Amino acid sequence: MTAISLSAIKKSFGTTSVLNGINLDITDGEFLTLVGPSGCGKSTLLRILAGLEAPSSGEVVIGGQTVNAVRPARRNLAMVFQSYALYPHLTVLQNMMTPLKLRDLSLAGRLPLLGPVLARGQYRAIVEQVRETAEILKIDHLLDRKPGQLSGGQRQRAALGRAMVRKPVAFLMDEPLSNLDAALRIHMRSELAELHRSLKTTFVYVTHDQAEALTMSDRMAVMMDGEILQLGAPHTVYNDPQDIRVAEFVGAPRINLLPGSLDNNGCARCGEIVLSRTAAKGVVGSVSIGLRPEHLSLCDKGTPEALSGQVVHKENLGADIYLHVSVLNGSQRLVVRVSPHEGQGASFGQTVHIVREHGQALVFGKDGKRLDLKNADDGKVAEVA
Ligand SMILES: Nc1ncnc2c1ncn2[C@@H]1O[C@H](COP(=O)(O)OP(=O)(O)O)[C@@H](O)[C@H]1O
Ligand SMILES: [Mg+2]
């Protein structure tokens, strides 16, 4: 079931076009990530969804209802910002109670500044609701503390808790982990994914960090220059990027790209590497051959299709070693992921031989679109411009 639907969303600030016609259907209960480099329009799209920004054109539909003219507060979405925006002078309990108090007071038609106007029963119900939420987030022992007395991760959870108490249709999060240190950020990834599983509420999550998108999402939308280049499950986006920009953006270390060309038989070639059935026969032109570091390995001299080169840098990460190897007469550099065992002998300046894992190359045409066929056995060939 579609929870949120964005159609043909365009946005310009003055003469600058920031979103160029975004179409996106978000399924009820899914964890959807908008990921892309800084400035590509992620926050603008999220703010349009939240109602904090109006689209120049296009339609926002939530729960089957067009909400373009609906105020942010009435969209029943919970926005969690990068800065936690907790009130520093209030305890966690008071912070988390605020949205419910405001709701009940506004329902009663009263302004919150007019003093203690909540009935005692109402107050108790709110405290109970906050306690339940705090238990889910494992911060129930921190309810009497003020934000200044919390760690970064605890503050993060308190801010989430404050958003959760209203039981929103969806959570919108804009780079919520970017203020945390590296270790906590990685820890919070699994906490958020776990939280999503237990809440079963729709999450729309914005990040520039492809690792966050890969590890947490049900689906990720890779954005660049105001467009969605590809939308899909993380493993599909990683293994089957349809555009060279997606292939380069997703994956660390980056995919290796070698310049190649198509021969008359539709084979892509670069040095010793030959990839058969890349394009239709008779289609010629230059291509880029993408090889992920984990799909390359060291081999013996004389292995068919091997590329030879010199080790120019060795990155030792403990569990893995990334060898940077200068190939094709020094014109290109490949990063090869090897095990510590495999890489222990390879030292700076040494000549090594590299072979690719069969069936794992990606070929992109001049326009950056994917050319090769993962399952070429069906006899179909790609159309090449
Ligand atoms: N209120 C604004 N006025 C003018 N330009 C803006 C405004 N908000 C965002 N932009 C521009 O729109 C582009 C996309 O911004 P943003 O959506 O914040 O990108 P992201 O979140 O992907 O980093 C940027 O070039 C930014 O400078
Ligand atoms: Mg942003």
Query: Which residue's structure tokens are 């120049």?
Result: 56
Give, for ligand 1, the residue of 9, 13, 81, 212 to mutate: max count of ligand atoms closer than 8 Å to Cβ: 13
Q: Look at ligand 1, atom 12, and give the residue with the nearest C-alpha.
A: 18
Are 215 and 189 within 8 A, CB to CB?
Answer: yes
Looking at the structure, tell me whether residues 158 and 46 fall in a common domain: yes
DSSP state for residue 384 in the 8-state scheme:
-
Looking at the structure, tell me whether residues 160 and 18 fall in a common domain: yes
pLDDT of residue 264: 83
Looking at the structure, tell me whether residues 9 and 140 fall in a common domain: yes
pLDDT of residue 108: 60
pLDDT surpassing 60 at residue 41: yes
pLDDT of residue 358: 86
Residue 262, amino acid: L
Looking at the structure, tell me whether residues 269 and 359 fall in a common domain: yes
Are 293 and 322 within 8 A, CB to CB?
Answer: yes
Q: Which of 28-37, 158-167, 335-344 has the lowest mean pLDDT?
A: 158-167
pLDDT surpassing 50 at residue 383: no
384 occurs within a structural domain: no
pLDDT of residue 375: 41
80 occurs within a structural domain: yes
* 312/349 Cα distance (integer angstroms): 6
Q: Which of 34-48, 99-113, 308-322, 371-385 has the lowest mean pLDDT?
A: 371-385
Peptide bond into 253 cis (omega under 30): yes
383 occurs within a structural domain: no
pLDDT of residue 266: 81
Looking at the structure, tell me whether residues 148 and 292 fall in a common domain: no
Looking at the structure, tell me whether residues 35 and 93 fall in a common domain: yes
Looking at the structure, tell me whether residues 223 and 342 fall in a common domain: no
Q: Strand (E) positions, the chain? A: 2-13, 16-27, 31-35, 57-62, 65-66, 77-80, 170-174, 202-207, 219-224, 227-232, 256-262, 268-270, 273-275, 285-291, 296-299, 307-316, 321-327, 332-338, 351-356, 362-364
pLDDT digits (tens, 9 = 90+) for 321-342: 999 999 999 999 999 999 999 9
Cα separation values, 361 from 19, 297, 336, 342, Å: 32, 13, 14, 22
133 occurs within a structural domain: yes
Domain final residue pick, 183, 213, 239: 239
User: Ligand 1 centroid vs 57 CA: distance in angstroms?
Assistant: 17
How much is the average pLDDT of 209-229? 98
190 occurs within a structural domain: yes
Cα separation values, 151 from 212, 222, 257, 333, Å: 21, 32, 42, 43
Residues found in the chain: 385
Instruction: Answer whether 18 contacts ligand 1 (Cβ < 6 A).
Output: yes
pLDDT of residue 377: 39
Query: From the alpha carbon of 36, which atom of ligand 1 is closest?
Result: 22
pLDDT of residue 113: 52
Instruction: Answer whether 207 contacts ligand 1 (Cβ < 6 A).
Output: no
126 occurs within a structural domain: yes
196 occurs within a structural domain: yes
pLDDT digits (tens, 9 = 90+) for 103-161: 776 666 555 554 556 778 888 999 999 999 999 888 999 999 999 999 888 888 898 89
Looking at the structure, tell me whether residues 146 and 27 fall in a common domain: yes
Q: Which of 26-40, 178-192, 198-212, 244-258 has the lowest mean pLDDT?
A: 178-192
CA angle, residues 189, 194, 199, in degrees to nearest 5: 125
Are 249 and 370 within 8 A, CB to CB?
Answer: no
Ordered DSSP codes for 305-331: T-EEEEEEEEEE-SS-EEEEEEETTTT
pLDDT of residue 273: 87
Among residues 225, 192, 247, 199, the alpha carbon closest in space to that of 33 is found at 192
pLDDT of residue 326: 98
pLDDT of residue 378: 39
Q: Which domain holds residue 304?
A: 255-378
Are 117 and 110 within 8 A, CB to CB?
Answer: yes
Looking at the structure, tell me whether residues 193 and 291 fall in a common domain: no
Looking at the structure, tell me whether residues 82 and 207 fall in a common domain: yes
Looking at the chain, the whole-number percentage of residues with pLDDT higher than 70 is 91
Cα separation values, 307 from 311, 321, 340, Å: 12, 19, 21
- What is the CATH number for 131? 3.40.50.300
Number of domains forming the structure of the chain: 2
Domain final residue pick, 213, 239, 265: 239
pLDDT of residue 44: 98
Give, for ligand 1, the residue of 11, 33, 44 to mutate: max count of ligand atoms closer than 8 Å to Cβ: 44
At residue 195 the predicted structure's pLDDT band, cuts being 50, 70 and 90, is confident
At residue 380 the predicted structure's pLDDT band, cuts being 50, 70 and 90, is very low
Bigger pLDDT: 107 vs 175: 175
- What is the CATH number for 266? 2.40.50.100
pLDDT of residue 381: 43
Q: Look at ligand 1, atom 26, and give the residue with the nearest C-alpha.
A: 39
Ligand number nearest to the C-alpha of 47? 1
How much is the average pLDDT of 269-283? 79
* 230/190 Cα distance (integer angstroms): 24
Looking at the structure, tell me whether residues 355 and 331 fall in a common domain: yes
Instruction: Answer whether 13 contacts ligand 1 (Cβ < 6 A).
Output: yes
Looking at the chain, the whole-number percentage of residues with pLDDT higher than 90 is 66
The H or E element spanning position 163 is: helix 152-164
pLDDT digits (tens, 9 = 90+) for 47-101: 999 999 999 999 999 999 999 999 998 899 988 866 667 899 999 999 999 988 8
> Kind of pairing, strands 351-356 and 332-338?
unpaired
Instruction: Answer whether 40 contacts ligand 1 (Cβ < 6 A).
Output: yes
181 occurs within a structural domain: yes
Domain final residue pick, 239, 265, 286: 239
Query: Which residue's structure tokens are 């002998």?
Result: 345
Looking at the structure, tell me whether residues 77 and 164 fall in a common domain: yes
Which 3 state secondary structure label does DSSP give 261? strand
Report the chain's mean pLDDT, rounded to a whole number: 89
